[in-house]
Structure 1
Amino acid sequence: MCNKARVPILSFSATSPSLISTQNLYFYRIAQNECAQAHAISALVQAFEWREVVPIFIEDMYSEEVISCITRSLQEADVRVSYQAAIPQSPVDYQIVQELHKLNNLTTRVFVVHMSPIVGSRLFAIAREIGMMRKGYIWIVTTEVTNKLASLNSSITDALQGVVGVGAYFPKSTEFQDFRVRLKLKSQQEDPTIIGSELNVYCLWAYDSVTALAMAVENAGIKEFDFQNTSTGSRNTTDFEMLGVSLSGPQLGDSLVETKFRGLSGDFSLVDSEINSSIFQIINVFGDGKRVVGFWTPKSGLTRRLDSTKTHTGTNTYSTSKSNLGPIIWPGDSSSAPEGWDLPANRKILRIGVPLKIGSFSEFVKVDYGHGMGGTIVSGYCIDLFQAVLQALPYPVSYEFLPSPLRDYDNLTSSYYDDLIQQVYLGTIDAAVGDITITAQRSLHVDFTLPFTGNEATFIVPTKQENKKDPWIFIKPLTWELWVTSFCFFVFIGFVVWVLEHGVNKESRVPPSHQVDTSLWFSLSTLVFSQWERIHSKLARFVVIIWVFMGLILTQSYTASLTTLLTVEHLRPTVTNINQLIQNGEFVGFQYGSFTLEFLIRMGFDENKLRAYKTAEECDRLLTMGSRNGGIAAAFDETPYLKVLLSRYCSKYTTIGPAIQTQGFAFAFQRNSPFVPDFSRAILNLTERDEDMKAIEDKWFMNKSFCPQPSSVDASYSLDLDSFRGLFVLSGIASSSALIIYAAAFLYRRGREFMQFYSNDSLWKSVCIMLTIIKQKGNRIHAQEQIHVSAENVS
């Protein structure tokens, strides 16, 4: 009608999001779009870290649109909407009771209610009767109820005790107070029976709408409202074609858009033909009325007080912290914020499934039956850790263990642990606790907590004893580079000592045939400290000291390496790599019901070559039998199980191959379970306390550490040249320096004679002549000593 007649229509109650002003040129909304509150509700849910919400609404088109906006905003904040409760438009009490009982059987305790105050009051009254308005429940109402709280009677307010709501904000200005007094006086004059009349935001929007219209007419200067009749047909007054076209309508519409003033509901201005009002107040129903506990703005998020400067300039950062809200009294007169979830009313005990594997790695989970009056006892490393996590939770949790027995499968591809996960997914049990590894496939059906163990999977193979009667084992402690380098230094040190001692030591002046072996014998005997030759030259003594120090380190290292080879090296794995297992067609074992079967098939192993074992003892028996005698050549399992196996059979087995990283053990819960974040945080706190984790591990794995593993490579125990490079460099510098000093001293004494030879012959020939002179000098000294000795004998 407004588009046909070109007459502006101002609505102060059209809050439905389906009424889009931009599609109707002459329609102006002087009220908040109900979708605008979606982000305020989402911020309120985020502030208290509630992770799941259930909307309750009247089943009509308008309510569904609002709930759609709220749901979308919650999902953007990573809040799950698992269920939507739709109430019929004209419900009877049993329909409301039936829906509330259905909600009470859910785990979530956060409900967002969007309906009229009349139906809402009935909903809350019935919720109070069936015990859903007590401590632990959270009720959030939308503007549909909150904006009309002031005009509701006390009986309705009593049913809303502890409810939190989001309502339109309007300032309590002086103009508002004056208007409130004048309206109250006028109402009593017209009807003396009226005791009091409270204003709600719809009244203010109505008053501002009339004010805006009056100002727009005055600003446009319109004196008369003329219409042009465009109809040429029937004169029937009910005919739509009888509507005339306003000649001043477009001018009035333009004037409305430009109208701006300070109204009772706040600053009045139109943006896209809608009122520009996006501030909401967070209220708490308590006592006889409501309490404002905070505000929400698009720029700042939740805030305790409004600062007009920051609100308009946007200098504040967006916040969803509950510290920005005042104290809230929740249902049940509780001042502490509820968790937002609880076990269903018909099931207050958490059903925990545990794997029942009799005799199969009982260190992790152990189930004992028939212990007197105590019944079934569940224990083990995983159970103790689960109970420690429960103690770290901020709230108590009642639980019962339900052992799930291991059944025989028709084929190896069926996994016992996958069957346990399936029970959690189907709701037969609430959670699964035990040595359950996180896998991608399992995470599609359940939610895992953070892992409480680091994990990897690898192969374990038997070891064999290496033959100790190797005749060349004495060579293996040193690499061939170190042997060659050591021999070269033997020769070099012998030559240096011979040069330095030749002129002063009579023992160096033996026939030439004996001088070479004497020099080598001297340098070699110093390594074992068995030399008896005396050293006369000071330079030679310096060289020998360095050489003896080097020899001490070299011989001691050789002894230690040889000892290691003789005592450790004889243990070798029977298989050195995974490809050898595949190429030889060896049988490989895996733990029954474990996910490791999938990894083996993915590696390329033939499924017919895979054998399952249930216990550590059975795995030992299969490995001892060997692949050709009905056993296995290797077993593939996770580190915690291998730790137990190696601790029992320390010297029989070793690990080979690259370790495959897995996600570790964790607790499994139903999808979107509220327990998962709290358990994960408790696991983090527990693992950070090393003393607590160590106490649990020592209880079940005391002295069950990995044995020292043998190496399959000889060179791993061989000493190389790099280990002694510094010693060789030091000895070489000392020896070379001694030779240079000796040569410099010699040239200083016999320099003229050497220059004489050098001027007549080549350098090499001159050096040879000088060596001959040195030798002759040594022979003369030796002859003189012999004459002196003979004279002494004669006398």
Structure 2
Amino acid sequence: MEIAHRVIQLLLLLTINFSVAQNASKGGAQELHVGVILDLESMVGKIAQTSISLAMEDFYAIHHNYSTKLVLHIRDSMKDDVRAASQAVDLLENYNVEAIIGPQKSSQAIFISKLGNKSHVPVISFTATSPSLSSKSLPYFVRATMNDSAQVNSIASIVKTYGWRKVVPIYEDTDYGRGIMPFLVDALQEVDARVPYQSVIPLSATTEQISLELYKLMTMQTTVFVVHMSITLASPFFIKAKEVGMMNKGYAWIVTDGVTNLIDSLNSSVLASLNGALGVEFFVPKSRELDDFTMRWNMRFQIDNPTAPPLKLSIFGLWSYDTIWAVAQAAEKAGLVNATFKTPGVTRKLTSLETLETSSNGAELLQAITMNKFRGLSGNFDLSDRQLQILTFRIINVVGKGWREIGFWTAQNGISQQLNKTRSATTHLGSVSNLNPVIWPGESIEIPRGFEIPVSGKKLQVGVCTSGYPEFMKAEKDHITGSTKAIGFSVDVFEEAVKRLPYALPYEYVIFSTKNDGSSEDYNDFVYQVYLEMYDIVIGDITIRYNRTFYVDFTLPYTESGIAMVVPVRDNINKNTWIFLKPLAPGMWFGSIVFFIYTGVVVLVLEFLGNNKNVRGPIPKQLGIVMFFSIFEEKELVQRFLSRIVLMVWLFFLMVLTSSYTASLTSMLTVQQLQPTVTDVHELLKTGECVGYHRGSYVKGLLEELGFDKSKIKAYDSPEDFHNALSRGSNNGGIAALVHEVPYIKLFLANHCKGYTMVGPIYKAAGFGYALSKGNPLLGDISKAILNVTGGDIMIEIGKKWIGDQDNCQNVGPVTGSSRLTFANFRGLFIFTGVASTSSLFIALITYFYKKKQKSTKITLPNKNQPEESGTDKEHTELQEGNQGARVEQNAQQAGRQENVLEEQSSLERVSDTN
């Protein structure tokens, strides 16, 4: 059955070839000679040769009426750059080729493209991807493939997505390998990933040389590698990497398209060694034409290579197929006639390279190729920029005997699980959730951290030095054992953080010699040692400062941040005769008196409008009533409901005020009111007081920026010097305040609690942290561990051990302000009282004027049922009404006297009954 199947395939291909030849002979087309240079023994060369043959047949089977026809001259470079150049010269001299297709290697394409420049012959390569092949310096070179630099952003996106901070590139020592490196390093730096080392493998490296390089990589902390090699070198490299144990759990490998594009054609042993690796490849959209071509290609390849192992169609086969179509269409569109070559006008004997003839059709053919755009088997085939425009990459994961699709990368959308052209995102935007799950080396589903501390490698070098405050860190060398010992607050925090790391971190202390004064200059030099790679990390009371972040990275701070002042305290209350006035601030006294008078006036007006005869009388009497209303609520004296509301609100106000006054006065008389002598740094500026700082600290520059005169800034070396200077005061040669960082201030107050307090912070600072090299992957883990330490009880214990118990010192912490009751404290109560009084007054006035208007209307309204009275009658009526009113008033007074007599009689009777 297999033999019969082969015979049928052969007959079909012979029929197609015969029909193509027949159509070509009938057409009488103009021949255009084209050279093809391939490494016919390589995997890519074999794939491309079959694709080129099918491309010629398919193109002229469809376009049999074309007036031009390509005639291919295929040459084998045999993996040798010199032979490839020799073949190119032969094609130019002896065959007058109008174009050269397929210098397979970048090193070959560079020289052959220079020949193309000299002879004006376009050179089209579908495999030379090195960025060193610049279109500006090689105007006749056309890259019918992608530039290697096009894939670096997709690789950087993968690194950023998985949170890796260090990456080691591994590349072959060729033009192809070296060309991508500057672009890859730049792309990684844009996503905050460092390249601590670049591994270069010679193309002719033996397995022993590869092993030595791999063992060297194993001694490093970084476990993320980007491999950029041709398949020839990558196959033995990954086999050896698996043998030495670098394809196990914890490692991460990313391979570029040079390997990924041929992943389907790798043998089982190489594929097994790549298990868990990620790969980047050009994405080819599926189509029915591609499926049909793949089936035909498989049949043809078996016929062309009956003894060779089976290979799969790759992207290089599709690009070679589309390249033939692009050149054939360009030849027809340019309307090329018989090729003419111009010989250099020289007389002396020259070499063959100097006598190369110049094509008259080269420029027109080149322009036609670059202007030709069509939909090919590989997708949109556009060489308008003399380079194939790549839009989409696919990210794959090698698993078992095949691969899985992990996601896609595009310049517009970055990394995504599926192609979604409508989503807007930045180039490097992505997260693990945007990709399918990955099976990492060692069949692990846990994302590699990107670094490991090798057991056989050196320990983490931790730089230490003695601080100006030994409580924070003190380092000394053991002269017997030669080891360095370090103790202190900063050391204990670091050691506790290391214990909380999810992995073992072997380390050793290395001492750094300073002046032991903790000066800023010394610490700058100390931190700079990390940048010089003398230490992996430096610890201590190192302030996180902006200028230091240019060359190191800092962990999260493990202490409080900020700069504050230490000032003496004093009893702010003078217990003299007038102390009873001090509980209320002057504004509070004034406001209370104003509202006292206002409330009395409001109640007086309310009662006056209500015709209360008790409030009528001379002005002294009314003033007395106002005072009485403001203090007492007399039901007999106050008759209106609105007045009672005002007095109830006022009574509530007095109750709150008197309670607060009593409490404040009691506190002043019984508790010592210690207050800072200075509460604001600007007070020191206004009064011209002297301030102090620790010698060598950057606080001096801060004080100068605030406006302090240099003569008013004094430097001191120790806490005892601070104490003595503060005790003397600014007028006696000392200082009025000490300006220092908060952690140091707490240490000072722990030993000098009595008589001093902290004011502020007056300036923001980041606190103390540990410094690591830029991009060090330990940074995130140590920062998380520091958060774990500072958020627990262990931090309190470390503080008590080295700094002291802060709870016993009441002066620790900012103490500002006054204990007096101010108007602002009772603003809400004043507003409530004022609104109640004013509202009641307005209501009463509105009611009064409304009733008065109604009454006047009733009096002046005439009676329509009675005749109008004459003037004499009116006077008589008014006289009668007046007499009648007088009699009523006289009767009322007489009734009142009778009531008084009756009350006196009843009182006498009660007295007699009692007796």
TM-score (norm 1): 0.73
Q: Which of residues 470, 474, 482 is equivalent to 2:576?
A: 470
Q: Look up the SS of the partner of 1:74 in the other structure.
A: helix
Residue 651 (structure 1) shift: 6.2
* Percent identity for Structure 1 against Structure 2: 33
CA distance in 2, matches of 1:537, 1:33: 99
Question: Is 1:227 aligned to residue 328 of structure 2?
Answer: no
Residue number in structure 1 paired with 2:870: none
| Alignment pair present for 1:481 and 2:590 | yes
- Contact 1:463–1:571, Cα closer than 8 Å, also in 2: yes
Deviation at 1:113, TM superposition (A): 2.9
CA distance in 1, matches of 2:341, 2:566: 97
- What is the distance in 2 between the residues matched to 1:57 and 1:272? 28
TM, length-normalised to structure 2: 0.64
Report SS of the residue matched to 2:565.
strand
**CA–CA distance in 1 between the matches of 2:519 and 2:732?**
24
Q: Which amino acid aligns with 1:33?
A: N
* Cα distance change on mapping 1:132 and 1:653 into 2, 3 Å: same
The aligned counterpart of 2:770 is 667
Question: Is residue 81 of structure 1 aligned with residue 189 of structure 2?
Answer: no
Gaps of 5+ in 2: 1-114, 479-483, 859-888
Matches within 5 A, 1:4-403: 7-20=121-134, 27-87=141-201, 103-104=217-218, 106-121=220-235, 123-124=237-238, 132-147=246-261, 160=274, 162-169=276-283, 173-188=291-306, 192=307, 194-197=308-311, 199-210=313-324, 212-213=326-327, 225-227=338-340, 238=352, 240-241=354-355, 243=357, 245=359, 250=364, 254=368, 257-258=371-372, 260=374, 262-263=376-377, 265=378, 268-276=381-389, 278-284=391-397, 293-302=406-415, 320-323=430-433, 325=435, 328-343=438-453, 347=457, 349-353=459-463, 362=471, 380=489, 386=494, 395-399=503-507
Deviation at 1:778, TM superposition (A): 10
The residue type equivalent to 1:443 in the other structure is T
Distance 1:488 1:217 in 2: 108
Asked if residue 440 in structure 1 is aligned to residue 554 in structure 2, the reply is no
Please point out which of 825, 833, 851 is paired with 1:727: 833
Q: List alignment gaps of at least 5 residues for structure 1.
A: 528-532, 753-773
CA distance in 2, matches of 1:239, 1:436: 67
Q: Which amino acid aligns with 2:226?
A: V
Residue number in structure 1 paired with 2:93? none
Structure 2 residue identity aligned to 1:463? V
Change (3 A) 1:743 1:391: same
CA separation in 2, counterparts of 1:465 and 1:241?
A: 105
- Equivalents in 2 of 1:740, 1:167: separation in Å? 88
Superposition pairs of residues 621-632 of structure 1, within 5 angstroms: 622-626=725-729, 632=735
| CA distance in structure 1 between the partners assigned to 2:253 and 2:893 by the alignment | 114
Question: CA offsets per residue over residues 621-668 of structure 1, 9 Å max, x none?
Answer: 653454566754322223344456557766633344771111233332
Q: How does 1:425-464 map onto structure 2 within 5 Å?
A: 425-464=531-570
Q: Distance in 2 between matches of 1:168 and 1:546?
A: 82
- 2:833 maps to a residue whose letter is L
| AA aligned opposite 2:590 | E
User: For 1:436, what is the secondary structure of its paired residue?
Assistant: strand
1:45 Cα offset (Å) = 2.3
Deviations along 1:600-640, one digit per CA (max 9) or x if unpaired, are: 3444254785243545x775565345456675432222334
3-state SS of paired residue (1:662)? coil
Look up the match of 2:716.
612
Contact 1:283 1:291 in 2 (8 A): yes
Q: Aligned partners of 1:585, 1:20: CA distance in 2, in Å?
A: 68
Mapped to 1, the partners of 2:772 and 2:358 lie a distance apart of 68
Tell me if structure 2 keeps the 8 A contact 1:5–1:246. Answer: no
Deviation string for 1:544-603 (max 9, x for gaps)? 767655544443343334334445685343345545656777554445665434433444
2:297–2:313 contact (8 Å) kept in structure 1: no
Q: Is the 8 A contact 1:353 1:429 kept in 2?
A: yes
Q: Which amino acid in 2 is paired with 1:449? A: T
Once the two structures are superposed, residues 680-730 of structure 1 have per-residue CA deviations (whole angstroms, 9 ceiling, x without a partner) of 45666888x799988988998673686597666586557888453543664
Residue 447 of structure 1, CA deviation: 0.9
Contact 1:104 1:345 in 2 (8 A): no
Aligned-partner Cα distance in 2 for 1:20–1:739: 95
Residue 661 of structure 2 corresponds to 558
**CA contact under 8 A between 1:449 and 1:677: conserved in structure 2?**
yes
Distance 1:37 1:127 in 2: 24
8 Å contact kept, 2:679–2:816: no
Q: How far apart are the structure 1 equivalents of 2:901 and 2:847? A: 30
User: Counterpart amino acid of 1:596?
Assistant: V
Which whole-Å CA distance do the structure 1 matches of 2:431 and 2:610 have between them? 89
Kept after mapping to 1: 8 A contact 2:276/2:441: yes
What is the alpha-carbon distance in structure 2 between the residues aligned to residue 496 and residue 209 of structure 1? 105
Distance 2:126 2:467 in 1: 70
> Residues 53-95 of structure 1, C-alpha deviation per residue, up to 9 Å, x if partnerless?
2323344555433222323333333433344344556557787
2:562 alignment partner AA: E
Whole-angstrom distance in 1 between the partners of 2:638 and 2:413: 91
Amino acid at match of 1:19: L
| Bigger Cα displacement from structure 2, 284-293 vs 178-187 | 284-293
User: Alpha carbon RMSD of aligned pairs, Å?
Assistant: 5.8
Q: Is the 8 A contact 1:509 1:782 kept in 2?
A: no
Q: CA deviation at 1:538?
A: 4.1
Is the Cα contact below 8 Å between 1:51 and 1:79 reproduced in 2? Answer: yes
Question: Partner residue of 2:807?
Answer: 703
Structure 1 residue 19, shift from structure 2 partner = 3.3
CA distance in 1, matches of 2:724, 2:291: 88
- 3-state DSSP of counterpart to 1:464: strand
C-alpha distance in 2, partners of 1:156/1:428? 40
Cα distance between partner residues in 2 of 1:47 and 1:537 = 80
Give the Å deviation of 1:440. 1.6
User: Closer, same or farther in 2 for the Cα pair 1:151/1:632, shift >3 Å?
Assistant: same
Structure of higher RCO (CA pairs closer than 8 Å, 6+ residues apart): 1
| Equivalent-residue separation in structure 1 for 2:712 and 2:850 (angstroms) | 82
Q: Which residue of 1 aligns with 2:780?
A: 677
Cα distance change on mapping 1:285 and 1:235 into 2, 3 Å: farther
Amino acid at match of 1:186: D
CA shift for structure 1 position 15: 2.8
Cα distance between partner residues in 2 of 1:428 and 1:159: 37
Partners of 1:347 and 1:524 in 2: how far apart? 88
Partner Cα distance (1:497, 1:150) in 2: 101
Q: 1:342 to 1:230 in 2, by over 3 A?
A: same
1:758 paired residue number: none
Q: Which residue of 1 is the match for residue 755 of structure 2?
A: 652
Deviation digits for residues 470-497 of structure 1, max 9, x if unmatched? 3333334263523642663697599789
- Equivalent residue of 1:339, what SS? coil
Which secondary structure does the structure 1 equivalent of 2:130 belong to?
coil
Cα gap change, 1:345/1:630 in structure 2, threshold over 3 Å: closer, same or farther?
farther
